[in-house]
Amino acid sequence: MSLTGQKPSIQVWDPLVRYGHWALVVAFSVAWLRADDESGGPDQVHVWAGYAVGTIVAVRVLWGIAGTRHARFSDFVYSPATALRYLGDMLRGRGRRYVGHSPAAAYMIAALLLCLAATVGTGLIAYGDTGKGPLASAGSLVIAGAHAEERGAGRRGESEAGIAGDLHGALANSTLGLVVLHILGVGLASAVHRENLVRAMFSGRKRPGDGD
Ligand code: HEM
């Protein structure tokens, strides 16, 4: 207990969570801003930013299994009912405070990681269609197969890789929508609990909960 009667802050987010989070923000932003070059296709900066997003998401998933206490997925497993009740309470300005991720944050994090992984995956397939990237040969096979089918059916339809490219764009837009909701949620939780969650994502430190 300090002289002001407040308990000293505790370490909640480990360095991998914090650096990973802000690296993800930078990588996603760069990939988004460099989505189209003059020819309408992806440029090298977009591609490498996408690889970075994929790598960060993969490392974060492994860290969710083997990481520190509040980084582990098992630390923030809540039923949908708990998350909805928490959201309702928050909108009325009286949600319970969690030191780790809240029930609503837990679902948002799952949605963000899934959407980011699917965006990277479809991007890799679409890039493979252009004969580039790690899925270049797989992509060419898909296209060759799709073209053969089209010839067989006597029509020219949309190829698999075209679908992958469209899906990639739709998933990137969905991720951006989630990011907007995520930032609004962080703002709401910071206001309701009178704590700066953005600063905590930099320092890793938060004021302890009742049980800490
Ligand atoms: C591309 C944009 C973003 C993505 C993909 C993203 C993704 C994530 C993910 C995956 C987490 C979970 C962290 C973990 O446990 O490893 C998280 C948490 C968090 N993010 Fe973001 N984020 C983005 C932008 C932002 C921005 C701009 C802010 C600041 C306004 C922010 C503030 C936070 C905070 C404070 C948390 C902790 C939430 C909590 O207390 O439960 N994020 N974010």
Ligand 1 pocket member 24 (CB < 6 A): yes
Q: 77 C-alpha vs ligand 1 centroid, how far in Å? A: 17
Q: Closest Cα to residue 103, out of 89, 113, 115, 117?
A: 89
Specify the pTM: 0.89
- In the chain, where are the structural domains located? 10-206
Q: 201 C-alpha vs ligand 1 centroid, how far in Å? A: 8
Q: 21 C-alpha vs ligand 1 centroid, how far in Å? A: 6
Q: Quick one: pLDDT at residue 146?
A: 53
Ligand 1 pocket member 49 (CB < 6 A): no
Q: 112 C-alpha vs ligand 1 centroid, how far in Å? A: 9
Could you list the pLDDT tens digit for every one of the 212 residues in the chain? 455 667 789 999 999 999 999 999 999 999 999 997 666 678 999 999 999 999 999 999 999 999 999 999 999 999 999 999 999 999 999 999 999 999 999 999 999 999 999 999 999 999 998 889 999 976 455 554 554 454 444 443 345 558 999 999 999 999 999 999 999 999 999 999 999 999 999 999 999 987 66
Output the CATH code of domain 10-206: 1.20.950
Ligand 1 pocket member 180 (CB < 6 A): no
What is the share, in percent, of the chain residues with pLDDT greater than 90?
A: 77
Q: What confidence tens digit (pLDDT) does each residue in 170-201 have?
A: 999 999 999 999 999 999 999 999 999 999 99
